[in-house]
Amino acid sequence: MALLQILQVGDERLRQISQPVTSFDLNLSNLLNDMKETLIKAKGAGLAAPQVGVLSRVFVVNVEEGYFEFINPVILGVSGSQYGVEGCLSVKGKWGDVKRPKKVTVKAQDRFGKWFKIVAKDFFAKAICHEYDHLDGKLYIDIADNLRDEDAEE
Ligand code: NI
């Protein structure tokens, strides 16, 4: 396993549309293992492949409910809304307030290609929506209110 470099806002790769995964092979497993290590080291809630320069529809999430890998995710439905603070490992030192669905139903493939479905709520739903946006070249700062420096939180 290896720590990956996390791209920062301004890097054009963060603005591109990621492509579906077609090979559930060792390369994918290695990427996922490295993303997990990188996410945990960075103490983040989620990390998407384009953030480490890989334009594939892959993200990982580490939340209270557990650690999850999403490959080729499809959002099947959303409901309700929540409004709260967000940050991003690709936008260091900033926070902003974002409106997200309260609940999201998503299907995705695991690292072996098997489809699964998850209904996520609250923080978990927010993390999935945030990471999903990365796959379409979107960053939370595009939609955040009151974008502020981390220091201002104190
Ligand atoms: Ni992010």
Mean pLDDT computed over 97-125: 98
Residue 62: phi and psi, rounded to 5, are -125, 100
Residue 151 has pLDDT above 80, yes or no: no
Residue 153 has pLDDT above 70, yes or no: no
| Whether pTM exceeds 0.75 | yes
Mean pLDDT value across the chain:
96
**Could you state, in order of their start, the residue ranges of all structural domains in the chain?**
12-149
Q: How far away, in angstroms, is 40 Cα from ligand 1 center?
A: 14
DSSP characters for 74-124?
EEEEEES-EEEEE--TTSTTEEEEEEE-SEEEEEEE-TTS-EEEEEEEHHH
Q: Which CATH architecture has domain 12-149?
A: Alpha-Beta Complex (3.90)
Residue 16 gets which letter from DSSP? S
Residue with tokens 């902003």: 96
Nearest CA to 102 out of 129, 82, 124 is that of 82
Centre of ligand 1 to C-alpha 51, Å, is 8
Q: Is 69 a catalytic residue?
A: no
In the structure, what pLDDT confidence band is assigned to residue 1 with cuts at 50, 70 and 90? Answer: confident
pLDDT at 152: 62
Q: How many Å apart are CA 12 and CA 15, to the nearest integer?
A: 5
For residue 31, report the distance from its CA to the centre of ligand 1, in Å: 17
Among the listed residues 131, 150, 153, 154, the single catalytic one is 131
Residue 48: pLDDT band (50, 70, 90) is: very high
What's the 73 CA to ligand 1 centre distance in angstroms?
16
Q: What is the CA radius of gyration of the chain?
A: 15
